[in-house]
């Protein structure tokens, strides 16, 4: 068991990340008490039955009143309002952090809502599955993953160190970068791939010449992987695209230009150019494996989650 880092932790938002964080804090003994809250009454009721928090609060203010750490773990579009709702209930010395996939827009909204004396440490664990809701959480989600911290003007050195220590204790490697750089990196590695997956799956479903049953029945590995990504939480991803639109549009423009180049290669039967492209992209895949960013199973934690919940067979 790890050493305790915080006495009282409040987690606002009890989906996959929030519930997994609660599991991890309790499994590793990193907090004396974990209080959860979610804007959905149904989610609060389900979380209470699952009992991964010591208490499920009825209001956001009640959840944070004794907290030494507050974690904002809702879709990024709701983070600013959540910060506003708890601003008057925070005790002196509390640290506020978040787990959103967009940083610049979140920092602007949260810091406008919080009192100036409250330390805020923007963060983003690079972890997840396509599943959502409080039932999807499991304590080992963050092990062997990256947690990115993006300090702002309201981030104190002491607060940054404690949040870094927390993510290390949860099993993550920690990287620090500017919010702007984070948003560009994630637009490249996560946001654009998700957007492409959503679009490809939507296109296949809309084809009149191919029935929906055939799309499902004859899904090869590539399309099957796209459907896994496209099954991600729609509210979360809607908010990510709207709150990181500049970086996403920049990367989408570059992708469109590159896709047009590939279209020309195929049209003019330029096999050498196609082979060169595929060789370069294959090298990127090998680099990801060598960096330890590839797991044995391509389902990003689903097998671990199911084994912890009773050893159910995972989807292949």
Model confidence pLDDT, tens digit, residues 41-59: 999 999 999 999 999 999 9
Residue 136 or residue 97, greater confidence? 97
pLDDT over 60 (residue 311): no
pLDDT over 90 (residue 85): yes
Domains of the chain and CATH, by start: 6-177 (3.40.50.720), 181-308 (1.10.3660.10)
Instruction: Calculate the average pLDDT of the chain.
Output: 86
Q: Helix, strand or coil for residue 149? A: strand
Whether residue 20 contacts residue 45, with contact meaning beta carbons closer than 8 Å, is answered with no
Instruction: Compute the distance between CA of residue 102 and CA of residue 100 in angstroms, rounded to an integer.
Output: 5
173-176 and 55-56: which strand pairing?
Answer: unpaired
Q: Helix, strand or coil for residue 121? A: strand
Task: Give the sign of the dihedral formed by CA 22, CA 72, CA 31, CA 299.
Answer: positive
pLDDT at 1: 56
Instruction: Compute the distance between CA of residue 28 and CA of residue 306 in angstroms, rounded to an integer.
Output: 19
pLDDT at 296: 40
pLDDT at 135: 94
Instruction: Compute the distance between CA of residue 12 and CA of residue 18 in angstroms, rounded to an integer.
Output: 7
Average pLDDT score over residue span 262-266: 93
Q: What percent of the chain has pLDDT over 90?
A: 59
pLDDT over 70 (residue 279): yes
Q: Which residues contact 41 (CB under 8 A, 6 or more apart)?
A: none
pLDDT at 183: 92
pLDDT tens for 195-209 read 888 888 887 777 756
Instruction: Compute the distance between CA of residue 174 and CA of residue 160 in angstroms, rounded to an integer.
Output: 11
Q: Which residues contact 9 (CB under 8 A, 6 or more apart)?
A: 25, 31, 33, 34, 35, 67, 68, 69, 70, 71
Residue 190 or residue 185, greater confidence? 185
Please report, for residues 62, 94, 283, 307, 312, the alpha-carbon distance to residue 148 in angstroms, rounded to integers and kept in the order given: 29, 21, 25, 27, 32
pTM for the model stands at 0.80
Task: Give the sign of the dihedral formed by CA 7, CA 13, CA 241, CA 186.
Answer: positive
Burial classification of residue 206, based on how many CB atoms lie within 10 Å of its CB (0-12 exposed, 13-18 middle, 19 or more buried):
exposed
Q: Which residues contact 38 (CB under 8 A, 6 or more apart)?
A: 12, 13, 14, 15, 18, 44, 47, 74, 134
Q: Which residues contact 215 (CB under 8 A, 6 or more apart)?
A: 204, 205, 207, 223
Whether residue 24 contacts residue 142, with contact meaning beta carbons closer than 8 Å, is answered with yes
pLDDT over 70 (residue 4): yes
pLDDT tens for 172-181 read 999 999 999 9
29: left (phi over 0), alpha (psi -120 to 50) or beta: left
Residue 154 or residue 221, greater confidence? 154
């Amino acid at each position: 068991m790890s050493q305790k880092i915080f006495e009282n932790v409040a987690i606002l938002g009890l989906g996959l990340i929030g519930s997994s964080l609660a599991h991890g804090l309790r499994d590793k003994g990193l907090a004396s008490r974990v209080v959860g809250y979610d804007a959905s009454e149904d989610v609060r009721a389900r979380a209470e039955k699952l009992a991964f928090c010591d208490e499920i609060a009825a209001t956001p203010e009640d959840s944070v009143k004794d907290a030494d750490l507050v974690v904002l773990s809702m879709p990024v579009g709701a983070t600013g309002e959540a910060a506003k709702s708890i601003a008057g209930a925070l005790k002196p010395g509390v640290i506020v952090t978040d787990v959103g996939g967009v940083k610049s827009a979140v920092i602007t909204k949260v810091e406008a809502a919080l009192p100036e004396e409250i330390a805020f440490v923007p963060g983003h664990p690079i972890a997840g599955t396509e599943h959502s809701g409080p039932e999807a959480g499991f304590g080992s989600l963050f092990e062997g993953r990256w947690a990115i911290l993006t300090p702002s003007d309201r981030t104190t050195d002491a607060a940054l160190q404690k949040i870094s220590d927390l993510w290390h204790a949860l099993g993550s490697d920690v990287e620090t970068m500017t919010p702007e750089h984070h948003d560009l990196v994630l637009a490249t590695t996560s946001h654009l791939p998700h957007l492409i997956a959503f679009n490809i799956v939507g296109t296949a479903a809309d084809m009149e010449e191919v029935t929906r049953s055939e799309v499902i029945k004859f899904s090869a590995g590539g399309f099957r992987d796209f459907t896994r990504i496209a099954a991600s939480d729609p509210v979360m991803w809607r908010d990510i695209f709207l709150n990181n639109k500049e970086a996403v549009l920049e990367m989408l423009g570059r992708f469109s230009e590159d896709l047009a180049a590939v279209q020309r290669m195929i049209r003019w039967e330029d096999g050498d150019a196609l082979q060169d492209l595929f060789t370069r992209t294959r090298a990127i895949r090998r680099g990801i494996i060598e960096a330890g960013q590839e797991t044995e199973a391509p389902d990003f934690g689903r097998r671990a989650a199911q084994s912890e919940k009773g050893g159910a067979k995972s989807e292949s």
